[in-house]
Amino acid sequence: MAEIEERGSTHVYKVNRISKEEIDSMVERCVYEEAPYCNAACPLKLDTRGMLKAVAEGDLKKALQIYEKAAPFPLILSMGCEAPCEAKCRLCEVGDGVAIRDVEAAVARHGQQSRLGSIFRTRKKKTAAIFGSGLFPLFLSAELEKKAYPVTVFCEEEDLSAFLHCETPFLDAESFALELKRLKGKDISFVFNCDITPSFFEEKRTEFDILCSSSEVSSRLFPDAAFLPDLMLCEEEQLVTAREGGVMAAAYGAKKAALTVDRLAQNLDPRNNRGKEGPSESRLYTDLSEAVALNRIPKHGSGYTPEEAVAEAKRCIQCHCEECMKSCAYLRHYKKYPGLLSKEIYNNTQIIMGDHQLNKPMNACSLCGQCTVVCPNGFDMAHVCHIARQNMVSTDKMPLAPHEFALLDMVFSNGDAFLSRPQPGHEQCRYVFFPGCQASAIAPETVKAAYADLRDRLDGGVALMLGCCGAICDWAGRYEMSGQTREFIDRELSKLGDPIVIAGCPTCAKELKTHKNLQVKGIWDVLLELGLPEGAHGLDRPAAMHDSCGARGDASTQNAIRSIAKQLGCELVDTPYSGDRSPCCGYGGLTAYANREVASEMTAQCLDRSDAPYISYCMACRDRFARAGRESKHILELVYGTDAGSPPDISEKRWNRLTLKNELLRDLWLEEPLEMKLNYELNYTPEARRIMDDRMILTDDVIAVIDSYRETGEAVLDSTSGLLIARKRIGNATFWVQFTRDAENSYTVHGAYSHRMNVERRQG
Amino acid sequence: MAIERTYYTIDPEGKLQCMKCGVPLVKGKAKFMYLDNGFPVELPVCPVCGFVYVPEELALGKVASVERALEDK
């Protein structure tokens, strides 16, 4: 049997096939972490979505905490804010947007204030002085206090109440009292009744590290000084100040000014490293198809009651982009959006020593490309996982275990089970029928019928090629093997006279189309041209059409299959996620081998779309749906009236391929096939067959073990169970078979297991 | 020197017999090897021919989990 070399544990750094830049540009496309529209529009960067969520959950205390992070004086802000967030609320497109400002006001009024900061808080060493009064000094003092600067405010007012009142006459008595309490709770020193003259200012300049002032003070003391609005700074005076009035301008200005203070305090250029400031455009995508148009909760009197605020906040649809998560079982399984998952998978490929914890997720993607279609920005998770696998192979870090069975199956398809012959009577042919390895494995009679039909109705000769197109090794990231398979197929095709390929499987068609100078058609195209054979008929009840991931982006194939189904008289029911948006059955990308759990979830998701029987045009889909217990037909089974029956197990799949080849060789090319008979009798208990299928142990493996036992006599007798247990190392695994010897040349297999570790006796 | 661990105990002794040599298997020294790593273990071995037996529960349990851990190294 052919072997594939296992990797060593010493990693040889060969070629890196993945670049950080490529991953970064892909990660950039994922907008899951993008700020929602309301949040992006807010100059203060208030986490509006988080606040509304807390309110909707009835937790006004938490909502207030979120609000206070952006607005140190929430009542003042909620009354003076111009609410740019409300205009950006996506609900405005279907009905009333959320009344965010009114909810904020209710949060500010009714939310329980959390405990004030600890008195043991460490203060920074650099000190700040603020001259003057008004909204800007008020907000700035709070922002600097939050950053732990010792702040002293010098103002002309006689007390705190007058200081707060000077620019907040719009506050009612109750709100004023609340904000005054909040101000008193802050660690800010005040010096009242100051006469802020140039000499007073210069005197203080020596006492404090950072100087700030209201717009009134700065324009009075330094009327000619140039003001940098982005930094809130008069650079020549090193004075942090403001120019505009109004609540929003003051609050936003105070945020910018506090950052300038931070930079100045560290003797750094205030222009640099400021991050994203102010309002921005959100790149988030939100699906509004299920959003319901509702009116705002009307406001009575002074504002929302807590109950009204909760009701209004509940209207928020919590904008998130989860298009891929909704459609992909793989992403849902790992509960990670593709941007994050891609970063982690990239990091996984770069580990030289240590655990590769993302191997399993990387190998669990079905590479089907559905995410790219459903993502508003075309995120291509399949590409990320595919190049990551190739990279793991190229750097010799890819374990063989997850893909070895599939790769050996491919080697079998293109080895023992491979057949390439021109049509009898032709030396070279105009066409070659390439049914695909799964069709030969699952529905050999359908392959025979299709080939007979093509031979009958096409002129110029139709050759036959039974083998694997190379998708398996491509999915496994084994690019060297892919190259070899491509050369092998090209060589065999050239022997047949470079015919036009008629593919029986959309994945084969897609794969073969990448070969140079190769003309590829689907059998569905040929059938539409020739017309369906006589007697072809569809199901007598409505069925769901499952589109193959091999035909994603290939409307011509999808339409051709639907035309055939229509001509067959099939009544197709609509399913969500069909056509280009179709999910994978779980076979693609070798998910079924690398991660059975995810593959089952993928199959279940496909079947959840409809209760009807499924018609597919990929044999792997047909097989997985049938295995999951659903009535499942390949379109060619309907066209040719063949029934592939219940799904074969892994050994039967190999047997079917070999038998198909031998029968065709015997019947068409009159060649005597190889003898496949054993010279002893070997039976299996049904449980043994089930276990073998589950553990991916082939009858060929069992036969090799029994052969070895018959040759060497090496076995263990377990007196408890009465079973003989023999073993043989085949390739990279050791297979153990539990059996009984019923007669001289007759055995019954009761079970089998395998391990990849090699075991040997140790001396000393 | 690697620490020697016993992953499997023969219980009861004598229930396993080497068919080739016709003698009971005994606790003996063996070594698992995978991806250039070696693990000294004690397993049922034939004292005559040296046949090393890996029981099913060991193969599907500890051996499988160590295999997976090494594959992801």
Q: Do B29 and A758 touch (CB under 8 A)?
A: no
Instruction: Report the percent of chain A where pLDDT is more than 90.
Output: 78
Mutation target among A593, A738, A747, A759 for the B interface, most CBs of B within 10 A: A759
Residues from chain B contacting residue A716 (CB–CB below 8 Å)? 16-19, 25, 44, 51, 53
Alpha-carbon distance A731 to nearest alpha carbon in chain B (angstroms): 13
Residues from chain A contacting residue B64 (CB–CB below 8 Å)? 755
For A709, phi then psi, to 5°, come to -60, -45
For residue B3, is it within any domain?
no
Alpha-carbon distance B44 to nearest alpha carbon in chain A (angstroms): 10
Instruction: Report the percent of chain A where pLDDT is more than 70.
Output: 97
Sequence letter at residue A215: S
Residues in contact with A546: Cβ distance below 8 Å, sequence separation at least 6, in sequence order? A575, A578, A582, A585, A606, A614, A615, A616, A621, A625
Alpha-carbon distance A696 to nearest alpha carbon in chain B (angstroms): 13
Query: Could you report the per-residue pLDDT of A438-463, keeping only the tens digit for each?
Result: 999 999 999 999 999 999 999 999 99
Query: Could you report the per-residue pLDDT of A327-357, keeping only the tens digit for each?
Result: 999 999 999 999 999 999 999 988 878 889 9
Q: Is B65 on the interface with A (CB under 8 A)?
A: no
Mean pLDDT over all residues of chain A? 92
- Architecture per CATH, domain A128-265, reads as 3-Layer(bba) Sandwich (3.50)
Q: What is the pLDDT of residue B68?
A: 92
For residue B44, is it within any domain?
yes
Range of the domain at B48: 17-71
| CA neighbor of A374 nearest in space, from A579, A548, A206, A521 | A579
Residues in contact with A206: Cβ distance below 8 Å, sequence separation at least 6, in sequence order? none
| CA neighbor of A209 nearest in space, from A232, A231, A238, A230 | A238
Q: Do B72 and A355 touch (CB under 8 A)?
A: yes
- Architecture per CATH, domain A681-755, reads as 2-Layer Sandwich (3.30)
Q: What is the pLDDT of residue A117?
A: 57
Residue A62, CA distances (Å) to A69, A143, A492, A552 in order: 11, 20, 70, 46
Q: What is the pLDDT of residue A400?
A: 93
Q: What is the pLDDT of residue A395?
A: 85
Average pLDDT over residues A719-723: 92
Average pLDDT over residues A315-334: 94
Residues from chain A contacting residue B5 (CB–CB below 8 Å)? none
Residues from chain B contacting residue A692 (CB–CB below 8 Å)? none
C-alpha B10/C-alpha A757 separation (Å) is: 20
Q: Is B11 on the interface with A (CB under 8 A)?
A: no
For β-strands A543-546 and A572-573, DSSP reports them as parallel
State how many domains chain B has. 1
Query: Could you report the per-residue pLDDT of A563-601, keeping only the tens digit for each?
Result: 999 999 999 999 999 999 999 999 999 999 999 999 999
Residues from chain B contacting residue A401 (CB–CB below 8 Å)? 67-68, 71
Q: What is the ipTM of this complex?
A: 0.93
Question: Which one of B51, B52, B63 has the shortest CB-CB distance to A755?
Answer: B63
Per-residue pLDDT of chain B (73 residues), as tens digits, is: 444 455 566 655 678 999 999 999 998 999 999 988 888 999 999 999 999 999 999 999 999 999 999 999 8
Alpha-carbon distance A357 to nearest alpha carbon in chain B (angstroms): 7
Residues from chain A contacting residue B45 (CB–CB below 8 Å)? 761
Q: If DSSP codes are grouped into helix, strand and coil, which group holds residue A81?
A: coil
Domain residue spans of chain A = 20-32+322-398, 37-114+279-313, 128-265, 402-650, 681-755
Mutation target among A355, A739, A762 for the B interface, most CBs of B within 10 A: A762
A382 neighbors A392 (Cβ within 8 angstroms): no
A128-265 and A681-755, same CATH topology: no
Question: For residues A350 and A129, which has the higher predicted lDDT (pLDDT)?
Answer: A129
B25 neighbors A726 (Cβ within 8 angstroms): no
DSSP assignment string, A643-676: ---SPP-HHHHHHHHHHHHHHHHHHTS-PPPPP-
Residues from chain B contacting residue A763 (CB–CB below 8 Å)? 29
Total number of residues shown for chain B? 73
